[in-house]
Structure 1
Amino acid sequence: MQEKQNNWQRIEAVIKWANMSTNYFARYIGLARGENLYQIKRGNNGISLDVADRIVTRFPQIDKLWLLTGEGQMFADEDLRGAQIPFYNIDVEQGIGLMEHLESQSSLIIPQLGDCDLAMTYTGRAMGEMVPSGTIVILKKVDREAIIPGEEYVIVSRKIVTLRIVRVAEGEQTLRLVAGDRENYDDILLNANDIVSLYKVRGKLIINN
Structure 2
Amino acid sequence: MPIGVRLQQLIDALNVSVLEFARQLGEKRGEKVYHILHGRLKPRYETLQKILLAYPTVNADWLLRGEGLMFRTLPQTPLAAITLDDRLRNMEFLLFQLNERVALLQQTNDLLRQELEEVVGQKKVISLSRVSRRSDRSTEA
**Contact 1:63–1:73 (CA<8 Å) still a contact in 2?**
yes
Aligned length: 88
1:68 is displaced (CA, Å) by 1.5
Partners of 2:39 and 2:15 in 1: how far apart? Answer: 23
Give the structure 2 partner of residue 26 of structure 1.
22
2:70 is aligned with 1:74: yes
Of Structure 1 and Structure 2, the greater helix share is in 2
Superposition map of 1:2-81 within 5 A: 3=1, 6-77=2-73, 80=82
**Which 5+ residue runs of structure 1 have no aligned equivalent?**
89-103, 108-209
RMSD: 2.7
Aligned counterparts of 2:95 and 2:72: Cα–Cα separation in 1: 22
Aligned amino acid, residue 64 of structure 2:
L
Q: TM-score, normalised by structure 2?
A: 0.52
Shift of 1:44: 1.7
Tell me the CA shift for residue 106 of structure 1. 4.7
Letter in 2 for 1:43: G
Match of 2:99 in 1: 105
Q: CA deviation at 1:48?
A: 2.2
TM normalised by structure 1 equals 0.36
Give per-residue Cα distances to partners, 1:39-66, cap 9 Å, x unaligned. Answer: 1122122232211111111111001121
**1:110 equivalent in structure 2:** none
Q: Which has the larger Rg? A: 2
The one-character-per-residue Cα deviations of 1:2-29 (angstroms, maximum 9, x if unpaired) are x5xx212211122122221101110122
Deviation string, structure 1 residues 115-162 (Cα, Å, up to 9, x no partner): xxxxxxxxxxxxxxxxxxxxxxxxxxxxxxxxxxxxxxxxxxxxxxxx
Indicate if the aligned counterparts of 1:29 and 1:58 stay in contact, CA closer than 8 A. yes
Greater fraction strand:
1
| 8 Å contact kept, 1:48–1:68 | no
Give the structure 1 partner of residue 116 of structure 2: none
**Aligned equivalents of 2:37 and 2:70: distance in 1?**
18
Question: What are the Cα deviations for residues 95-117 of structure 1, in whole angstroms up to 9, with x where unaligned?
Answer: xxxxxxxxx6159xxxxxxxxxx
Quick one: distance in 2 between partners of 1:54 and 1:106? 28
Paired-residue identity, %:
27
